[in-house]
Structure 1
C-alpha cells in the first residue's frame, strides 16, 4: 500500500483527494433546519383555524412549516410547472440543463431555465447572485438535499419557503392571503395560480400585472389538461375563475389572547389553543352589538370569557369589543384586568359557612343596620328586612347579611381560602381589606373568577384554566365539600330578581344555569358569572378608565350578555343538572322557621339534607321554652313560680331590633309577657334596643334656614308593641314613646349619652358624637 502511494505524483493528489472530499461532503447531512426560524407567530383554534397572525422580524407574513401533506391539486400543479422529472432525477435534471443551454446559446440570451425544486430550495436558502458558478453550487447542494430528504419533504420545504409576492412567504400564507381559505380547499385554478407565482412573484402586485398572471395560470391549466390531470369540463370551469386582485387581511378573532400568548411563549411560532372558533366569532359579534348599544349610555368596554367547566379549557376569550378602539382603551385585556369584585365572591362565603355549621341554606341571617368599627354596610335597596334566609340573602345579593356572615366565619379564614383557590390579585393583607372584602373591596380578574366558579361546579375541587393545547394544569385542591357546593349552586339556580332578570327565569328553568351578578361601588364594574356542568361563563361590563356610570348594573348590563352567550352554546335536551349524591349528605332536623338545628322548643321542623362532614349546625335560638304564671300575664322562674304557677311553653322570641324591622314590613309579632316584677330574682330582659343611632356613631346636626339646630329622629325597638319606652339624654328626661318608638332628640355638640328604659326596667344606651356642619 505504501509502495502504491509512493508511486503517486504530487500533481496527481488533487485528482484523488477532491472526489473523496466530494463523496464525504455528499454523505454529511445538510444543517438542520435548512432555513432559519424567522417565522410569523400564529395562534390557532382547537381545530387549526387561524385566530391571529403576527409579522416576523423582517415584516413578512411567513407561517411556520408544519407536517401536513401537501394537497394533491397543488402538488400536481407545482410539479407540472416547475419540475416534471421531480420524482426521477437526483436533484439536478441534466436533460433539462442541456436543453436550456442549447436554447440559450441559440438565442444569445437566457430564454429558459433548468432549475429543479431542490435547486430552487438551494437558491432560496442563500439568495446569491444568479451566476454560472452559483448555479453549480446550487446544483451540488440540490443533489445533497435529494440524498437526505424524501421527495415529499423537499416539496413541502419548497412550498413553505417560496416567495409569493409582496411580503408573503409560503404556500399556506399565500392561500389565506390571496384566496382567504386554507390550502387544502384550493380549486385547480387557485392551485395553478400558486404554482406559477414563485417563478415570478412580482406578477401578483401591483394589480395591473394580473393579465400576465392570468396568462401564465391558464397556460399551466392547459398543460395540466394535456397531461391528463384534469378533464375538459374542469379546465373550462377553471379558466373562468379570476386571479386574485388584492390581498385579504388576516382577521384577528382573539387579539388580546394572541398578544398574551406571544408574550408568555416568545420561542414558539405555532400556538394551538383550546378556543372554539365558532363560539369565538359569536362572542365577538355579541360584544360588538352590546358595545354599540351601551355606548350611548357612556359605557364603552366589556369582556367575555367562556371555559369548559370540567377541564378548564378556554373556549372563548374576548378582551374588549374592539381592539383598535384607541379612544376607549380597546387594547386593554379585560379578561386579565384587575377590577373590583362587587358581590361575586359571596357564593363561596355561603358555601364555606355551611361547611362550618354557621348556616344552612334556609337559616336566618340578620338584615338590619350594622356597624363594625366605623364600617357600616348597606344594602343596594337601602332597605332592611330584619332577617333574611341565607337563600334569599344570596339570591338578592344583600350586603348586610354577607358582611355579618363574614364576620362570623372569619376574615382571615376567608382570605386564606381565596389564596388557596388561586386568587393572585390579593396584594394587601386581610386586615387591610377588612370586612369590605366581601362587597368588592378586593381586586379580581375574569380568569380567576371563572376558575373559582368552576371549583364550585366541580364539587369544591379548584384547578387553573388553560388555553394552550396540552398544557392542562393537573394540580388541584379541594377546599369545599361537594354537599355545600351543590347547595350553593341550587341557591344560585333560583336567582330571579325583580326587573328584567325576572323574565329570564323561564329560560333559566328550561336550560339549568347557576349564576350570580355583582356591581362594584360607584357603579364602575358590572359582573355576571354563570355555570352549568358543561360551561362556565364570565361577563364584565364597564369602562377601562375606571369611570363610574349609574347605568351600570350586573343584572341589566352584564346579565343580558351572559344569557345571550349561554344561548349560543351547544345544548342538548339530555343535558342534566349537577348530580346530587346521597353519600355527600345526612339528614338533620331543622327548624322550619329559622333554618337552624331544631330543638324541642321548635314547633315545626323539616328533615334537611346537610353536607356530610360539616360541623354541627347552630341550634335555633328563636324558639325558647319559657315559664308563665297561671294567668299568663308574667314569666316566672324558680324563685317565683311556686306562688304564681309554672306553665312551660315554647315561644318565638325575636330580638328587639329584628322585631322592629319585621313590624315595619307588616309582619305581626305576638307580644310576650315580661318577667314577674315581684320576683326577688327579677332581672330585666334585653327587651329593648336603640336602633338609631348606633354605638360610637358620629351625627351631623342639621340646621334650618334660620340657623337653628334641628332635632335628630332616633328609633328604638321592643319585643312588645304595648310597652312604654322612656328616653333620656345625659340623664335628662326627654319623653316617652309607645308602639313605634321614635324620639326627636337635639344633641349637644360633642359626646352625648342616649338611654332608653321600659316600664319593666329593661334598658339600652348609646354614646353618640354630635357635630355641626359649617
Structure 2
C-alpha cells in the first residue's frame, strides 16, 4: 500500500491530469442532448393522430418517443449499423475502412460513424465534419454508451434524425410521407424511411426518386439475403412505390390543438377524443355551415361529453369558414349571450326549494316590471300555463314572472354554484333579464352543468340514494386524468335528484325541429332532455341536450356578434344537435328517483296540490319539497241556482234550490287571455239581479269619449304631448288592466288614469277589472 502511495506521489502531476481528464470525460456529455423545440401533438383516446402544430423553429419534429417499431429498427440497423449491439459507441473496423477510402480518393466518400456517433453529431447541430470533430464525436459516443442503454440511443436517433425538408424524426416522417403511424408501415415503407437520413438534403420524396428507390431496394435485398423477410414479402415490397410528396398532417381537432398548445407547448398529449366521432361531427358542422353561410351565418361550435366519465368525446371549436370570418377563433370557451338556455336551472331551483310543483299554473300575460317589458317570442299569451309547458315551450313572460317570484338573488346564488365563470357581475346588474339572456356564458360551462345534472340522477340511482360532493366538476380532455366526483354524502350537492328528473321530463317534451316532430311514435327514437336558446337581436343560437350517458352542446352564430334573421336555436342549432345524437349509442331514460319523491293528489286544472274544492284530481309523484306548496287557489266554492246560470244567495233563492259548486276561476288578466286558448273555460256566473247584498260593479270612461277624433298638441320642441286616459270604477280600490288594440299597456289602482302616446289612426281601448268586467272605447288620432 505504501508503495502504491509513493508511486502516486512521484507521479502526482500525471495522476492529477488523469483525474481531471476522467472528471471532464464524466461531465463532457450534456444531461439533455437535444434542446430543439418540438411540435405539439395530440392523439385520440386510442392513440390516433388528430392534430399537430409545427415546432417553433419551423420543423415538423415530434416530441421524443422511447418506443421504436420493430420493422424500422431492423431496417435502420441493417442499413446504418449492423454491429450496434456489439460496439462501445464506435466501430474501429468501419472507421479504418472509411479513413482508408477517403485518404485514397482525397475526398470524403464514406463515413464510419455508428448510430451512437450520429446521435452525438445530431445533438451538436451544424458542427463542421472535420477529423477533429469526428474525434470529439467518438469520445462523446463512448460516454453516451456508458450512460444510456442501446434502446435509448436508438430512440434518440429515431426521434431526431433528419428525413428531408423540414421533417425530423421517425414519427413526423411516417405521417408526412405515408399518412399513418410508424407502427403501421410496411417493410418497404420502413426501409424507405431507414435510408432517408443517410442523405436527407439530397434524397427526399419528390426529388431524385431513382436514387431513393435504389437505396430502398438494396436494403430490402439485404433483408432477404439475411432471411429477415421471405421472398414473397420481398417481391411485394419492391413493387411498392415511393411517396411523391408529403401529406398534410391530420387536423381533425384544430381548435382543441390550439387550446392545449397554450399549456402543453411541444408535448405529446393523449386526449379523450373519439377520433371517429370527431370526424363525423366535423362533417355535420361542415354541411350545416354550407347552408347557414347562405344567410351570412358563419360560425358554429359543438361539444360532446360523456356523462359518466366527464370526458370530452368531440370538440369542434368552429366551422371551416374563412379567416375573414374568424375561422381560428375557438367559440367553445368564449362568452356569449345565454338566451333561454338558463331557464331549466330556474325551473329546477323552484322545484328544489318547494316553490312550485311541476305542472303548477303560472301567469302568461302582458307584464311590465319598471321599464322592463318582456315578450314571448311569438308575441302571444296563454293567460295561464303549466310551468312544465312554459319551460318546454320556452315562454319568456312566465319565466320572468317565475324569476321575480323566486327572487333574483336567490336564483343568482344557484347559478354561481354552477361555477359559470362568465357570470362576473352581481345580480342587480343583470336584473330580471338574467333569465332571457341578460348574462353571458360559454358552451363549455353550460355543457358541464347539464352533464352534472344528468350525473346527479345517475349517481343517486347507483349509490342507494346518495350524492357525490364534487358533482359539478370540470370535464377532462386528458386521457390520463380520472375525474374525481368527491365523497359520497346524504346531502344534495345543489339540486335534489327528483327536481332534476322532473326538469328533464319537461325538457324531453320540447318540440323537436323539422323532421323529428313525431319522435315519440318511433321505438328507435332517442329520449333526450334538451333546450334551445336565442339571444336578443338573433346573435346567438343554442341547443343543449342530455341523455343518461351523453351531453351534446351546440352554438351557432357569428363570432363578431352580428345578428341575422333566422338565427334561432330551434332552426339552426337544434338540427345539428340531433344529427350528433344520431351518431351516439342509444341510451335508456333516467331512473326515477323514488326516494326523493312523494305521491300526492294534484288538481288536474291548476297543477297545485288538490284543495277540498278540487274535485278533478290525480295522484302523481312530485319532489318531496313540493309537499309544502300551497293548495290550489283557483278553485272556489260558489252558490248557484239549479241551472247553474247565476250566483244566488238566501236573499233571492230558497236554500233547497241553491247548489254548491266548485268553480275554476282565474284572475281577470289571466282569464282574459286564457279563454282565447281554452274555449271551454267558463267565467264565474254573475249574481242574479234580485239578489241582495252584492254590490253591482260598473265602469264608465271619463276620457276619451266614444268615437272621438283626437288631435294631440305639440310642445315648443315639436314633440307631441301624451294622451291621458281616464275611467271611473264603482270600486276604486280595484285593479284595472288597460289594453290598446289588444296590447297590454299597464294597470292602475285607486286612481285610474294612464298616459299613452298613440300613433295616428283608429284605436280600440279595452279595460278589464279584477272581477273580469270589461269596457271598450273606440277613438281616432288625427294630425
Q: TM-score, normalized by length of structure 1?
A: 0.86
Shift in CA distance, 188/3, structure 1 to aligned 2, threshold 3 Å: closer
* Map of 1:657 onto structure 2: 669
Separation of aligned partners in 2, 1:9 and 1:668: 120
Can you list the C-alpha shifts for 1:27-50, whole angstroms capped at 9, x where unaligned?
669443221152111122222222
Q: Does 1:474 align with 2:484?
A: yes
* Map of 1:462 onto structure 2: 472
Checking the alignment, whether the CA contact within 8 Å between 1:515 and 1:531 is kept in structure 2 is: yes
Separation of aligned partners in 1, 2:18 and 2:630: 95
Secondary structure of the corresponding residue to residue 207 of structure 2: helix
Can you list the C-alpha shifts for 1:9-66, whole angstroms capped at 9, x where unaligned?
97x5565445555555566694432211521111222222222222222111110113
Separation of aligned partners in 1, 2:605 and 2:653: 30
Alpha-carbon offset, residue 496 of structure 1: 2.2
Secondary structure of the corresponding residue to residue 183 of structure 2: helix
Pick from 758, 761, 781 the counterpart of residue 701 of structure 1. Answer: 758
Pick from 580, 585, 604 the counterpart of residue 592 of structure 1. Answer: 604
* Map of 1:531 onto structure 2: 546
Separation of aligned partners in 2, 1:525 and 1:270: 35
Checking the alignment, whether the CA contact within 8 Å between 1:627 and 1:649 is kept in structure 2 is: yes
Secondary structure of the corresponding residue to residue 201 of structure 1: coil
Separation of aligned partners in 1, 2:216 and 2:456: 62
Separation of aligned partners in 1, 2:87 and 2:688: 118
Alpha-carbon offset, residue 627 of structure 1: 4.9
Secondary structure of the corresponding residue to residue 195 of structure 2: helix
Q: Which deviates the most, 129-138 or 690-699? A: 690-699
Shift in CA distance, 106/264, structure 1 to aligned 2, threshold 3 Å: closer
Can you list the C-alpha shifts for 1:89-114, whole angstroms capped at 9, x where unaligned?
11111222223233334434333221
Pick from 483, 502, 507 the counterpart of residue 492 of structure 1. Answer: 507
Checking the alignment, whether the CA contact within 8 Å between 2:303 and 2:312 is kept in structure 1 is: yes
Separation of aligned partners in 2, 1:506 and 1:299: 33
Separation of aligned partners in 1, 2:601 and 2:655: 37
Can you list the C-alpha shifts for 1:673-697, whole angstroms capped at 9, x where unaligned?
4568976696979998424231376
Separation of aligned partners in 1, 2:39 and 2:687: 86
* Map of 2:623 onto structure 1: 611
Can you list the C-alpha shifts for 1:594-650, whole angstroms capped at 9, x where unaligned?
10011111012111111134561221011122356899744559x999999986542
Separation of aligned partners in 1, 2:386 and 2:513: 18
Unaligned ranges ≥5, structure 2? 458-470, 487-491, 698-730, 740-744, 749-753
Alpha-carbon offset, residue 717 of structure 1: 6.0
Separation of aligned partners in 1, 2:678 and 2:52: 64
Checking the alignment, whether the CA contact within 8 Å between 2:738 and 2:765 is kept in structure 1 is: no
Separation of aligned partners in 1, 2:87 and 2:642: 119
Q: TM-score, normalized by length of structure 2?
A: 0.85
Structure 1 vs Structure 2 CA RMSD: 3.0
* Map of 1:728 onto structure 2: none
Alpha-carbon offset, residue 207 of structure 1: 2.5
The number of aligned residues is 718
* Map of 1:577 onto structure 2: 589
Checking the alignment, whether the CA contact within 8 Å between 1:351 and 1:480 is kept in structure 2 is: yes
* Map of 1:511 onto structure 2: 526
Shift in CA distance, 643/208, structure 1 to aligned 2, threshold 3 Å: closer
Separation of aligned partners in 1, 2:359 and 2:418: 26
Pick from 358, 362, 365 the counterpart of residue 362 of structure 2. Answer: 365
Shift in CA distance, 7/290, structure 1 to aligned 2, threshold 3 Å: closer
* Map of 2:341 onto structure 1: 344
* Map of 2:75 onto structure 1: 77
Separation of aligned partners in 2, 1:7 and 1:282: 79
Shift in CA distance, 86/595, structure 1 to aligned 2, threshold 3 Å: same
Separation of aligned partners in 2, 1:396 and 1:221: 69
Shift in CA distance, 630/578, structure 1 to aligned 2, threshold 3 Å: closer
Shift in CA distance, 718/7, structure 1 to aligned 2, threshold 3 Å: closer
Alpha-carbon offset, residue 427 of structure 1: 2.5
* Map of 1:283 onto structure 2: 281
Checking the alignment, whether the CA contact within 8 Å between 1:357 and 1:618 is kept in structure 2 is: no
